[in-house]
Homo-oligomer: A and B are copies of this chain.
Amino acid sequence: MKVILNFTVVPIGVGTSLSRYVAACERILSKRGLKHTLHANGTNVEGDWDEVFSAIKECHQTLHRMGVPRIHTGIQLGTRIDREQSLEDKVQSVRDKLTQ
């Protein structure tokens, strides 16, 4: 089962500068070869359900090893069986409507 999701990692208890922790998660996604796009409020990922959630789990494990005592993560995910769709398709579909 394929999933498209956004996840937003919020490390708690390590001050207010969080970008190095987001970068650590980006590296995990890249290392695993998962298609992903960073944006201002999280990271979009597209891939097999198990592979994507395994990467998010590794992200939590890695951040805890980096010394983060508590992590809050928000995920917005979608699965569909009516048709194939990619990260790019979702954006293009809206853009098409905007130019009609």
Partner of A22 from the list B41, B42, B94 (CB cut-off 8 Å) is B94
Q: Which residues of A contact B (CB under 8 A)?
A: 1, 4-6, 8, 10, 12-13, 15-16, 18-20, 22-23, 26-27, 37-42, 44, 46, 49-50, 53, 57, 60-61, 64, 69-82, 87-88, 90-91, 93-98
Which residues of chain B have C-beta atoms less than 8 A from A13's C-beta?
A: 15-16, 82
Query: For residue A82, which residues in chain B have a CB less than 8 angstroms away from its CB?
Result: 13, 16, 69-70
Nearest-neighbour CB distance to chain B for A64, whole angstroms, equals 5
Q: Which residues of B have CB within 8 Å of A96?
A: 19
Task: Report chain B residues within 8 Å CB of A44.
Answer: 39-41
